[in-house]
Chain A
Amino acid sequence: MASIVGSYSLIFGLSCSFLIIFFSIKNFKNTQVFDNRILSFTFLQFFLVVISFFSLILAFVYSDFSNETVFNHSHTTKPLFYKISGTWGNHEGSLLLWLLVLTLFISIFLLKSKKQKKQYRILTSLIQQIIIIGFFFFLIMTSNPFNYIFPIPKEGLGLNPILQDPALAIHPPMLYLGYVGSSIIFSSSLAAMTLNDISRDWAKHIKQWVLVSWFFLTLGILLGSIWAYYELGWGGFWFWDPVENVSLMPWLALTTLLHCILVLEKKLFLTSWVVILSIATFTLSMSGTFLVRSGILNSVHTFANDPERGLFILIFLFCLIFLSLFIFFFFFKTDKNNNSLFWLSKETAILVNNWFMVYFLVVVLVGTIYPIFLEVFSSEKISIGPPFYNKLIIPFLIPFLLAMTIGPKLKWIKSDLRNKGYLILFFIISLLLSIMIIKNLSINFLVNTVLVTSAFYLFFITSRDFFVKGFNKLSQNIAHFGFSLLILSILFNNIFSTEIISNLKIGETFEGKNFKIKFEKIKQKEEYNYKSIKGKFKIENLDGSIEVLYPELRIYNQPNIVTSEADIKTNFLTDKFMTMNYVQNQDYFNVRYQVKPFMIWIWLSVILISLGGFVSFFKRYEN
């Protein structure tokens, strides 16, 4: 029943699009007044997609296995929370979520843009409707969430257990809010370009949307990273895995755009660059979806793919790129202003920021798609992993951090470095501090010292600004401070992490250099939809402190998969991380124990970074 309602609301939702387009075209030139029917039908469309989404949730909650999506991804013994989150834990449902956010955002856009010109609003909504129609067709034709199966199966196939996790329940919605937010930026910049209306006012207006998408995308990536840290079981938080890269690329583009739009807001400069970035951000989000869903990538995160779907997104993507190129070449007029550019100014600093950000973006992009192309053209398979990214990114991170420290100190148009003696003082302090930390370690002295110095430098200067500037430029300061903290935490985490892997039987003790690990016992327990085997490990540290960790193995009933749940003891300085793994036909377990300093600071600093965007959004809202 729910499926029928959902299915029909989708079709009605699609027809709304055509009505909206019809009214938009009629309204575009005729009168001065915005036709409110466009607004009404946009709301109606959103409402219909909500109904459709809720009926899918209902089908999941009541385990209605006559629905193919529910059958493939749910099971009666699954806890209610994961029945609900399972709605978007699969390809069909997650696309419905995309559509939901798409229609939600265009409704909000139309409500919030009443001060903007009529033609601009209509055109933005028109382009957005083209995207929406594309997704409707994609959903209905290749991945309908409401397919019916007969005879009705008694039991579903279940959701992949590693997806049964609270962080992963909210990770996709967050990420989609970011991705889809970029669609508004895309439509809006195309509309403004067509009307030759890219102005400072437009920059102010669209910056809100940039901030919103950026905020959610940042949090979405963070949640995914936290999930990978504790769920995938080897204690890393970023693997340079293609699917992770695919979410990082729009983020990099969006961050570049966010900085670039600051310039446009002040003076009419870099307009074409802003437009290119707006187009790139959404295109990257879309191609991300394409790469993940098509199954081309070899990734630990692959869970839903089908070549036919990939092809559809690819064609759709090409249409959108073609449309944007068409508008860019035929409507866009380059800025004829004669703003002079002085080498020492905030504009230059932002240009430098953009330069490096785009470079990082290119590194990630090339690293992600190069193997695909190489395989097609020469049928040779190569892998690109962390060493590639480290080699190309780390050396460039150093000047980037330095520019990030000095850039915000500069004024618009023309600046000098008088009265900035503290910049040198803080640099010397950072350098000495780094040398003291690094010199006793058996790692590459030069690279690490320079890297840590530049991160400390940014850290101290931004910390100082909290005291000196107070609430002035708070958002920027929080974000930059967060970034310095992030780099420092990652560096120290890398430098000071220790790890051991050992095979242990129950009762055995592992003797390490600084600690002893005793495998005391295991406890078996029957849970609702899995069998749990919990190990008890006692860790005696050299300083006498004792820690008890309980890593767990879960044998899920449906699908029959064994997962390993890490036990993590977190405090402000270090994480103690332990997993155990089952080894076939042996009476021992494979145990992995890691001491990872500053883990929590990595998460906190990303939260700080996104908080910067949050503050900026509300500060603007008050104005």
Chain B
Amino acid sequence: MKIINYLIIIFVFLSFNSLKAQDQNDKLNIEITKNLRCLICQGQSVYDSDTEFANSIKILVQNKIKDGKSEKEIYSYLKSRYGEWILYNPEFNKNTYLLWLLPILMFLIGGAIIFKLFIKKKN
């Protein structure tokens, strides 16, 4: 009897876990599809769109998550299939060095200018 009780507890616990996993998967799915461009729409994400294309991508992402693929793997798969245009989160590569670094650079230059203002005024 005791064993059965334990088994039930373990079973409940396991199913609870898988339930939670389901929940996590949905969350991940939403997060990923929000970061994908719906290629046939005008500036909409896959998540936001209800076109056939977007729906097919949603299902594709869902299946990939079920297969245990990581977020990164899914992005790189989609990138190889549809090009970088589909990713809303631009990667850091030779095409985008300037994109990521230019704002930071400007921030540093701005800081330097302000700093110089203090130095100059002191003299």
CA distance in complex: A340, B119 (Å) = 10
CB-based contact A383/B106 at 8 Å: no
Interface residues of A in 319-362 (CB under 8 A from B): 338-341, 343, 351-352, 355, 358-359, 362
- Chain B neighbourhood of A239, CB < 8 A: 43
Do A385 and B85 contact each other (CB < 8 Å), given the known contacts A302-B42, A366-B99, A590-B50? no
CB-based contact A382/B37 at 8 Å: no
CA distance in complex: A590, B89 (Å) = 27
- Chain B neighbourhood of A299, CB < 8 A: 42-43
- Asked if B83 is at the interface of the complex by the 8 Å CB criterion, the answer is yes
- Chain B neighbourhood of A513, CB < 8 A: 23
CB < 8 Å: which of B45, B85, B114 contacts A382?
A: B85
Give me 18 other A-B pairs in contact (C-beta within 8 A), A387-B88, A392-B104, A584-B52 excluded.
Answer: A300-B41, A300-B42, A300-B44, A301-B43, A339-B121, A340-B122, A341-B121, A370-B98, A381-B85, A382-B85, A382-B87, A383-B90, A386-B34, A386-B35, A387-B35, A387-B89, A388-B90, A513-B23
- Chain B neighbourhood of A583, CB < 8 A: 50
- Chain A neighbourhood of B47, CB < 8 A: 234
Interface residues of B in 79-123 (CB under 8 A from A): 83-90, 95-96, 98-100, 102-104, 106-107, 110-111, 114, 117-118, 121-122
- Asked if A241 is at the interface of the complex by the 8 Å CB criterion, the answer is yes
How many of chain A's residues touch chain B, expressed as a range?
Answer: 35 or more
- Chain A neighbourhood of B52, CB < 8 A: 584
What are the 4 closest A-B residue pairs judged by CB atoms, nearest first?
Answer: A385-B88, A387-B89, A234-B48, A300-B43
Q: Quote the shortest CB–CB distance from B100 to chain A (angstroms).
A: 8
- Asked if A581 is at the interface of the complex by the 8 Å CB criterion, the answer is yes
CB-based contact A381/B84 at 8 Å: yes
Chain A, residue nearest B93 (CB): A382
> Interface digits, A381-422 against B, CB 8 Å rule (1 contact, 0 not)?
111111110001000100000000000000000000000000
- Asked if A298 is at the interface of the complex by the 8 Å CB criterion, the answer is yes
Q: Quote the shortest CB–CB distance from B87 to chain A (angstroms).
A: 6
Q: Quote the shortest CB–CB distance from B14 to chain A (angstroms).
A: 19
- Chain A neighbourhood of B44, CB < 8 A: 234, 300
CA distance in complex: A341, B113 (Å) = 13
> Interface digits, A584-609 against B, CB 8 Å rule (1 contact, 0 not)?
10000010000000000000000000
- Asked if A450 is at the interface of the complex by the 8 Å CB criterion, the answer is no
- Chain B neighbourhood of A382, CB < 8 A: 84-85, 87, 90, 95-96
Do A384 and B88 contact each other (CB < 8 Å), given the known contacts A343-B118, A366-B103? yes
- Chain A neighbourhood of B107, CB < 8 A: 355, 359, 362, 396
CB-based contact B117/A381 at 8 Å: no
Interface residues of B in 54-87 (CB under 8 A from A): 83-87
Q: Can you pick out 10 interface pairs between chain A and chain B where the beta carbons lie within 8 Å of each other?
A: A232-B48, A234-B47, A239-B43, A300-B42, A341-B121, A378-B95, A382-B95, A383-B84, A386-B34, A392-B100
How many of chain B's residues touch chain A, expressed as a range?
Answer: 35 or more
CA distance in complex: A351, B115 (Å) = 10
- Asked if A429 is at the interface of the complex by the 8 Å CB criterion, the answer is no
CB-based contact B110/A383 at 8 Å: no
CA distance in complex: A444, B50 (Å) = 30
Q: Quote the shortest CB–CB distance from B49 to chain A (angstroms).
A: 8
CA distance in complex: A241, B42 (Å) = 10
CB < 8 Å: which of A301, A338, A359, A383 contacts B86?
A: A383
CA distance in complex: A358, B109 (Å) = 11
- Asked if B28 is at the interface of the complex by the 8 Å CB criterion, the answer is no
CB < 8 Å: which of A234, A351, A366, A381 contacts B114?
A: A351
CA distance in complex: A378, B84 (Å) = 13
Do A366 and B102 contact each other (CB < 8 Å), given the known contacts A343-B118, A385-B37, A388-B89? yes
CA distance in complex: A384, B110 (Å) = 24
- Asked if A156 is at the interface of the complex by the 8 Å CB criterion, the answer is no
Q: Quote the shortest CB–CB distance from A566 to chain B (angstroms).
A: 13
CA distance in complex: A499, B84 (Å) = 28
CA distance in complex: A392, B107 (Å) = 11
Chain B, residue nearest A352 (CB): B114
CB-based contact A381/B83 at 8 Å: yes
Chain B, residue nearest A388 (CB): B90
- Asked if A561 is at the interface of the complex by the 8 Å CB criterion, the answer is no
- Chain B neighbourhood of A351, CB < 8 A: 114, 117
Q: Quote the shortest CB–CB distance from B116 to chain A (angstroms).
A: 11
CB-based contact A383/B99 at 8 Å: no
CA distance in complex: A383, B78 (Å) = 14
CA distance in complex: A382, B110 (Å) = 28
Interface residues of A in 511-562 (CB under 8 A from B): 513
CB-based contact B95/A340 at 8 Å: no
Q: Quote the shortest CB–CB distance from B115 to chain A (angstroms).
A: 10
Q: Quote the shortest CB–CB distance from A91 to chain B (angstroms).
A: 17
- Chain B neighbourhood of A234, CB < 8 A: 44, 47-48
- Asked if A236 is at the interface of the complex by the 8 Å CB criterion, the answer is yes
> Interface digits, A363-387 against B, CB 8 Å rule (1 contact, 0 not)?
1001100100010001011111111
- Chain B neighbourhood of A370, CB < 8 A: 96, 98-99, 102
